[in-house]
Amino acid sequence: MLDFYCQCGNSIFFNNTRCLRCERRLGFLPEARRLTSLEPLGDGRWQVPPAGSVLGRIYRLCTNYSDHNVCNWLVPEESPHCLCPSCRLTRTIPDLTEPRHHALWAKLEASKRHLVYNLMQLGLPIIGRDQDPDNGLAFDFLADRDANTEFTERLAGQAQINTGHANGLITINIAEADDVARARMREQMGEHYRTLLGHFRHEIGHYYWARLIDNTPRIDEYRALFGDERADYGAALQQHYSQGAPADWQAHFVTPYASSHPWEDWAESWAHYLHIRDTLETATEYQLVAAPPWQRDSSDFDALSHRWTHLAIGMNAVNRSMGLPDAYPFVLPARAYEKLGFIHRVVDGYENPAR
Ligand SMILES: [Zn+2]
Ligand SMILES: [Zn+2]
Ligand SMILES: [Zn+2]
């Protein structure tokens, strides 16, 4: 995540809606991938101050910003859409007659915007249902009747639905946005890391597997590294949930869950790749690590993984100094780095005119 500044010079952050110093309204410009302060023109129209590549253009607030305060992105005045590119990807929002749901929805949208920003930064295609009705990306944010009692069963059911990511639909149980429910689940599953952003990064991995690997010449290299995904998915997950990961999983996988099936190995590895790219971008922006010694889009994965190892060790040490759990509670085996290197080549090699 990059660092952004208000026109008054104050630092502003990705989810902010107002500058805390000058109180100007803020909005994120998806096409420029930056947060900016705005000048009101009346009638719901806002102007970007005269600086940068979008100077002087007029915008509206995304309707989820103006009406629900669960977004902070902008829509060009002339756009036919009321919603921003991130909000347009949500097909089903939680039932807002339930009072707690608004806050959970806000967290879900915030994590999704973060994800969409990362995907844009990497130049990855984001094809919604409006452009591709059969396989386009869409999100359903669904609630159990009782998040406390049905959460576990619901997630087990969703693991089956994950195969449905071949058609681009991502379902997120909104209980994952509830910090207490998610922490309880993390304990039950014996996990060291469970975050809303992590869920989005994992699920989008299934979407990109279908887009970038399935039915492409890359499938052979994928199978050589991750295994043959034609193995029975339902049976593999059932075995994972009844018997757990194999004893030597740490020699091959990023997480125990990655050992369950080659699709899940890909999705878990993909999530880690996004953790690494975004966290390195942030750390570089704040000068916590040296700037990369290569051009931005270079395919030098060795240098990237070297910088990452250095940063992850440092972050964990800093967290321990604060009495907090490790920020990155994983030790990746060489085999996992090979998989990440493959993902890096897939992402880096993706030919997108937007880059
Ligand atoms: Zn300001
Ligand atoms: Zn929006
Ligand atoms: Zn999955």
Q: What is the pLDDT of residues 76-117, one digit of tens each?
A: 999 999 999 999 999 999 889 888 899 999 999 999 999 999
Cβ pair 36, 52 in contact under 8 A: yes
pLDDT of residue 166: 52
- Identify whether the C-beta of residue 66 lies closer than 8 Å to the C-beta of residue 74: no
The Cβ of residue 213 has, within 10 Å, a number of other Cβ atoms equal to 20
Residue 11: nearest ligand to its CA? 1
CA of 24 to the centre of ligand 1 (A): 6
Torsion of CA 178, 184, 185, 187, to 10 degrees: 140
Three-point CA angle 254, 355, 28, nearest 5°: 85
Span 227-264, pLDDT tens digits: 999 999 999 999 999 999 999 999 999 999 999 999 99
Question: What spacing in Å lies between the alpha carbon of 254 and ligand 2's midpoint?
Answer: 33
Least confident of 83-92, 161-170, 204-213, 278-287: 161-170
- The region of weakest confidence among 212-226, 294-308, 334-348 is 294-308
pLDDT at 329 over 60: yes
184 pLDDT more than 70: yes
Minimum-distance ligand to the CA of 255?
3
Q: How confident is the model at residue 218 (pLDDT cuts 50, 70, 90)?
A: very high
**Cα 46 to ligand 3 centroid, rounded to whole Å:** 40
- At 295 the pLDDT is 53
State how far the Cα of 128 lies from the Cα of 85, in Å rounded to an integer: 9
Report which bound ligand comes closest to the CA of 162.
3
Distance 91 CA to ligand 2 centre (A): 13
What's 47's DSSP letter?
Answer: E
pLDDT on residue 204: 96
Q: Is the pLDDT of residue 297 over 70?
A: no
From residue 234, how far is each of 128, 165, 240 by CA, in Å?
27, 14, 10
Q: What's the whole-number average pLDDT of the chain?
A: 88
Q: What is the pLDDT of residue 346?
A: 94
CA of residue 176 to ligand 1 center, whole Å: 33
With tokens 């991938």, the residue in question is: 33
User: Which pLDDT value is given to residue 49?
Assistant: 82
By CB atoms closer than 10 A (0-12, 13-18, 19+), residue 270 is buried
> With contact defined as beta carbons under 8 Å apart, do 23 and 79 qualify?
no
Minimum-distance ligand to the CA of 236? Answer: 3
Cα–Cα dist 325/194, whole Å: 12
Which tops the pLDDT comparison, 290 or 225? 225
Predicted local confidence at residue 352, as pLDDT: 45
**Do you know the residue count of the chain?**
355
Cβ 168 vs Cβ 82: under 8 Å: no
Q: Answer yes or no: is pLDDT of 54 > 80.
A: no
- What would the DSSP string read from start to end of 310-347? HHHHHHHHHHHHTT---SS-----HHHHHHHHHHHHHH
Per-residue pLDDT tens over the stretch 116-127 = 999 999 999 999
% of the chain surpassing 90 pLDDT: 69
Residue 160 has pLDDT above 70, yes or no: no
Q: Residue range 188-214: average pLDDT?
A: 92
How far is the CA of 326 from the CAs of 154, 284, 302, 331, in angstroms? 29, 20, 24, 11
312's tokens: 């992850």
Output the CA 97–ligand 2 centroid distance in Å: 20
